[in-house]
Amino acid sequence: MQIIKLLPENLANQIAAGEVVQRPASVVKELLENAIDAKAGEITLSIKDGGRTLIAVTDNGKGMNAVDAEMSFQRHATSKLSTFNDLFNLSTMGFRGEALASIAAVSHVSLTTQTEEDVTGFSIRIEGGKKKLASETICPKGTHIEVKNLFYNVPARRNFLKSDTVEFHHIEDTFIHVAIAHPEVSFKLLHNEEVHYNLQSTNLKRRITDVLGKNAENRIFPIACETDIVTIEGYIGKPETAKKTRGNQQFYVNTRFFKSSYFNHAIQTAFEGLIPDKTHPIYFIFLTVDPSRIDVNIHPTKTEIKFEEERFIYSILHSTIRESLGKFNLTPSLDFELETAFDLPAGFEKKPVVEPTIKVDPNFNPFQPFEKPKIHQGSSSSDRGVEPKSQNVKPQDWAAFYAINEEPEVPVLMESALSLNLDDLVMVGKYVICSYPNNALLIDTKRAAERVLYDGIIDQFVKQPLHQQMLLFPFEKSINLEEYRAIEENKSILMQLGFNFSLTSERLVIQGVPEIIPENSLDECLNEILTKLAFTTDLKEDLAHILVLTMVKQSVAFFTLKDKTEVFYYVQKLMECKDWTISPSNQKIMLSLPLEKINQLFEKHV
């Protein structure tokens, strides 16, 4: 008996719809992008009830003839891709020919369209993927599409929709992302017949200021940089416009909006010292890269993008912004000399990029007998009762560490044992200095603690929810709509992290918190987490990393390593971590100062 069957087309479309159409805003994104691809100069988006009743888009683009209009609702029907190679050179927004078919499978769609050449237009109605009506009609050039009763046949999805206000908020975000990427196009947005945006065709700067509102013109400055790999342009908010909450932080690549906490970091650090802690600069940044150098195998509804030259772009972005901040006299006292990490040789523009290389010692033999690093416990004994356990430190790691930190002519110190003696540890502020044959080793204890705590928590987190500490009195916090949305969407991960809470659209009531959060920093920690939630891409793994790191940082901020024993505990635990030279926020935990360097220093200062 034959048991394998092909799914009926209709069902296949409904399944695909689950991926492409997650909420009204996803429909908006697809329809707006189609209108852009059709070269429309004017686009109107009209929404009813947060998109659940109606999403309508009118454009004056090139339209479709009768055959194309019918075809456009079939899965894998696209006019934008015909060879495999096209996949790697996409310049249009859509690329899978799946959107219309998916949308029509879960709603009532009607479309009227007319091309320049045809004398009559064409009208078609499709309900739940089934064609109901198709006829000639008279209509203006362009396309008008109405999507009604979204998810009417998928109750689970329909019930999952948030309030109209929340859904409209998502729609507005999507609308703004498309409008900013295409300033030459006029856009209008209406919700329940009320006009929310009416944006005239203009240039990028005006479009940004039209969206940002009054007086915005004087609050942003331009950036631009052209290299072989990436062209960067855009506008950045002056330091004084940095805000406590994130928002108006937008990246686009080849006119497509995307999110990147990695690139965001490049910008945030470029502003370091210029804006108060925990505030975030405004930016609208446009990257242009060869489409074949970004990962096309991304989901159409996802907003992450993988770049081949991610690290290079990071550095360029960082230095371009530093430079502009200097040029526009926003940082009169900025010392570029200190920016060694991002130093690029003069005239780096328009030169091929050379991958950075890591120096390795060609004579290093991992199989050579190596005495395990030992930590000698001195007279004071650890009050935490932890047995010194250092066997996880691999000789290769030390080799790599020294290879990176030493001058090239200094041989890698391998054969001798690494002995850290507790009596030898000297504490200077938050640093520990200890001696290692012919080297002074400097350890940043806060970064060390950050690594130790982070590894411990991640390790636990992947197995089970983190330990929770119930609060004696529930902690209440009023939240805005954005925050409500963010919490609601990430409920499960927050619970896994050890939060116990109840939620209404205006209030968050916390009953239990992860053990690691110090009680006196709960409010601050929550604020941090909320902004991270609202901003971060929705990859669960990334989010876990970011949230755990946020908690660890809060915890470490309150850290005062009081005595040697405690310091010793962290140094020792650090040796057991896999990445023990780099903190989870990518900062060096230790530096070695070779004796030779010390000699040189003294020679210079006779």
- Residues at the site binding Mg ion, with contacts judged by CB under 5 A: 34, 94, 99
CB of 41 to ligand ADP, least distance (A): 13
Report the C-alpha gap between 94 and 80 in whole angstroms.
8
Residues whose CB is less than 8 angstroms from the CB of residue 306 and which lie 6 or more positions away in sequence, other chains included: 294, 295, 298
Applying CB under 6 A, among 48, 80, 205, 597 the residue interacting with ligand ADP is 80
- Verify binding: residue 485, ligand ADP, rule CB under 6 A: no
Nearest to 264 by CA among 229, 334, 314, 211: 314
Contact 384, 378 (CB under 8 A): no
Name the DSSP letter for residue 307. Answer: B
- Nearest residue by C-beta to Mg ion? 94
CB of 175 to ligand ADP, least distance (A): 16
Helix (H) or strand (E) holding 443: strand 439-444
- Verify binding: residue 64, ligand ADP, rule CB under 6 A: yes
Report the C-alpha gap between 217 and 313 in whole angstroms.
27
Applying CB under 6 A, among 38, 486, 487, 525 the residue interacting with ligand ADP is 38
Residues whose CB is less than 8 angstroms from the CB of residue 557 and which lie 6 or more positions away in sequence, other chains included: 521
Name the DSSP letter for residue 88. Answer: G
Residue 96 interacting entry, from ligand ADP, Mg ion, none, C-beta within 5 to 8 Å by type: ligand ADP
**Phi-psi group of 445: left, alpha or beta (phi > 0 → left; psi -120 to 50 → alpha; rest → beta):** alpha
Part of the chain binding ligand ADP (CB under 6 A), chosen from 96-104, 193-201, 216-224, 233-241: 96-104
- Lookup: tokens for 183: 């300033």
Q: Burial-class residue 82 by CB neighbours within 10 Å (0-12, 13-18, 19+).
A: exposed
- Verify binding: residue 17, ligand ADP, rule CB under 6 A: no
**Phi-psi group of 498: left, alpha or beta (phi > 0 → left; psi -120 to 50 → alpha; rest → beta):** left
Length of the chain, in residues: 606
Contact 58, 43 (CB under 8 A): yes
Applying CB under 6 A, among 18, 41, 97, 378 the residue interacting with ligand ADP is 97
User: Which of residues 278 and 299 has its CB atom nearest to ligand ADP in the complex?
Assistant: 299
Give the up-direction half-sphere exposure of residue 413: CA atoms within 13 A in the CB hemisphere. Answer: 21
Report the C-alpha gap between 313 and 342 in whole angstroms.
11
Nearest to 390 by CA among 574, 218, 195, 208: 574
Residue 72 interacting entry, from ligand ADP, Mg ion, none, C-beta within 5 to 8 Å by type: ligand ADP
- Verify binding: residue 444, ligand ADP, rule CB under 6 A: no
- Verify binding: residue 185, ligand ADP, rule CB under 6 A: no
- Verify binding: residue 123, ligand ADP, rule CB under 6 A: no
- Verify binding: residue 99, ligand ADP, rule CB under 6 A: yes
Applying CB under 6 A, among 10, 53, 65, 79 the residue interacting with ligand ADP is 79
Part of the chain binding ligand ADP (CB under 6 A), chosen from 95-103, 271-279, 401-409, 501-509: 95-103
Part of the chain binding ligand ADP (CB under 6 A), chosen from 90-98, 132-140, 428-436, 502-510: 90-98
User: Which of residues 98 and 483 has its CB atom nearest to Mg ion in the complex?
Assistant: 98
CB of 9 to ligand ADP, least distance (A): 15
Amino acid, single-letter form, for residue 327 = K
Part of the chain binding ligand ADP (CB under 6 A), chosen from 74-82, 180-188, 202-210, 431-439: 74-82
- Verify binding: residue 206, ligand ADP, rule CB under 6 A: no
Report the C-alpha gap between 279 and 238 in whole angstroms.
12
Helix (H, G, I), strand (E, B) or coil at 183: coil
Contact 384, 569 (CB under 8 A): yes
Applying CB under 6 A, among 23, 29, 52, 96 the residue interacting with ligand ADP is 96
- Nearest residue by C-beta to ligand ADP? 94
- Verify binding: residue 35, ligand ADP, rule CB under 6 A: yes
Residue 182 interacting entry, from ligand ADP, Mg ion, none, C-beta within 5 to 8 Å by type: none
User: Which of residues 59 and 309 has its CB atom nearest to ligand ADP in the complex?
Assistant: 59
User: Which of residues 255 and 511 has its CB atom nearest to ligand ADP in the complex?
Assistant: 255
CB of 52 to Mg ion, least distance (A): 22
Report the C-alpha gap between 153 and 130 in whole angstroms.
12
Across 261-293, b (16+ Cβ under 10 Å) vs e yields bbbbebbbbbbeebbeeebbbbbbbbbebeeee
CB atoms within 10 A of CB 346: 6
Report the C-alpha gap between 234 and 283 in whole angstroms.
8
Name the DSSP letter for residue 84. Answer: G
CB of 145 to ligand ADP, least distance (A): 7
Applying CB under 6 A, among 20, 45, 100, 266 the residue interacting with ligand ADP is 100
- Verify binding: residue 72, ligand ADP, rule CB under 6 A: yes
CB of 21 to Mg ion, least distance (A): 12
CB of 45 to Mg ion, least distance (A): 15
- Verify binding: residue 141, ligand ADP, rule CB under 6 A: no
CB of 558 to ligand ADP, least distance (A): 51
- Verify binding: residue 94, ligand ADP, rule CB under 6 A: yes
Residue 263 interacting entry, from Mg ion, ligand ADP, none, C-beta within 5 to 8 Å by type: none
- Sites of contact with ligand ADP (CB under 6 A): 30, 34-35, 38, 59, 61-64, 72, 77-80, 94-100, 143
